[in-house]
Structure 1
Amino acid sequence: MNKVIILLSLLFSSFIANGDILKDFDSLGKNKVLLENAQALFPEKKIEIVQERIVDRNWRHEFSPDYEVVSNGDNPYFHSQKLGFNYQLHINPYWSVGLKYQYNFNWLTEEGDRIIEDGRAKQDAIYRDDPNSREKPDPFIPELNWAQENYLAFVNWYPIYGKFKFLNSGIVHFDLYTHLAAGQIKLRYNNSDLYQFGIGTGLWWSQHITSRIEYKFSTYKTELYKDQSSIQTGNLSLSVGYLL
């Protein structure tokens, strides 16, 4: 008990002697004074100081637009990107739940352009040479069932947090988290359930400004000519948000 009292007294005196610790406790390296004094008192023990999260995330609301690059699995014919908007309710520093809407932008790859233009040119030549060619097989033109928009409900779990110094201009706090989501996706020819799981990093630049980097795996069903197939994609997203 006496050792505990001595340790608390020593820590308190360190705070008094080092006013800048109280003034800017969320900077890097200031915990070193406390750690050295505590270690000197009990050299036989391993002592660590873990600071609590500085940014309050108890019952706070986060709003953020996002940009997402999509890998379309094995489809070589088109690229996809998404623009979206997120709402998150931070229940506490460890859990948040939210809603997401995203709109897709799709365009053909060079391979997709080449195959489709080549197919159309051959088709035009056949129709020109033989007006009755509709009874014959058409040249290959792939049917593209790309995504148009999606809606998701999600939950994030934040088990790991820390901080780092950014370009000698300030301290940035961060969390590493896991992401689970479920919702609906609208494609060109059908709708499907959509599921996601992934990991992310949340950067807390101040009590209000946030940014996120996420990598997610998505899965959904696509339909062509009544045939269903499962699509898996890898998605990289970036967002900047505001905490209320």
Structure 2
Amino acid sequence: MIVFITGASAGFGAAMARTFVKNGHQVVLAARRKDRLDALAKELGESALPIAMDVTDKNSIEEALSMLPQSWRQIDVLINNAGLALNTKPAYEVPLEDWETMIATNIKGLVTMTHALLPAMVERGNGLVINIGSVAGRTPYPGGNVYGATKAFVEQFTLNLRADLAGTGVRATNIAPGLCGGTEFSNVRLRDDAAAAKVYEGTQPLTAEDIAETAYWIASLPPHVNINQIEMMPTCQGYGPLNIKRNLG
């Protein structure tokens, strides 16, 4: 099985790469930070192929795919993992650039990659697209604004893929994690390492390895089984009350 992972240089992507290679599969490692990709590829050996690529740039995607060796071109599993959150301020205070970056990465990059690889999967009659969503795609919270909206898109896009792919043999899944530590997610979002550490203070969050094991389980199921969506949370996390702003003065 050949697995193509975007955002493979760290976090979920690197953990998934390790898990698939450990279980005997080939992995294309795609991300912008080539130095990290090369280090991961050195760790994983010949079963990993690093390829520098920016999912927000269609030309970069096309060039990266054209550079794949012939023996690596039959992608069995596409994992659209590249994504990010920026800012937790209210919508009226967030710079437009942060919204644009999230939309370009979490939506545009995901659909461009899917559009590039899906037709060949349908032609072969097998394949799997795993999209990495978030509980934020279904559960709104203050400061979630465009990040949550992009993950709602991921969920709905995945379900609509399922509608179009019925009978083709190609599967599609949305993995929607909750609180997950040990990645760069909060560091990137908050742009403050100390503040990012406080997000996980006193918790036992999900880990990147938990997400990787889930992705591998989905990919290893019999080809007639489709997991439409998995929403995951650590046991320390749950649903809270609706946000109420009280003016008692």
Normalising by structure 2, report the TM-score: 0.23
Normalising by structure 1, report the TM-score: 0.24
Name the structure where helix makes up a greater proportion of residues. 2
Larger Rg: 1
Name the structure where strand makes up a greater proportion of residues. 1
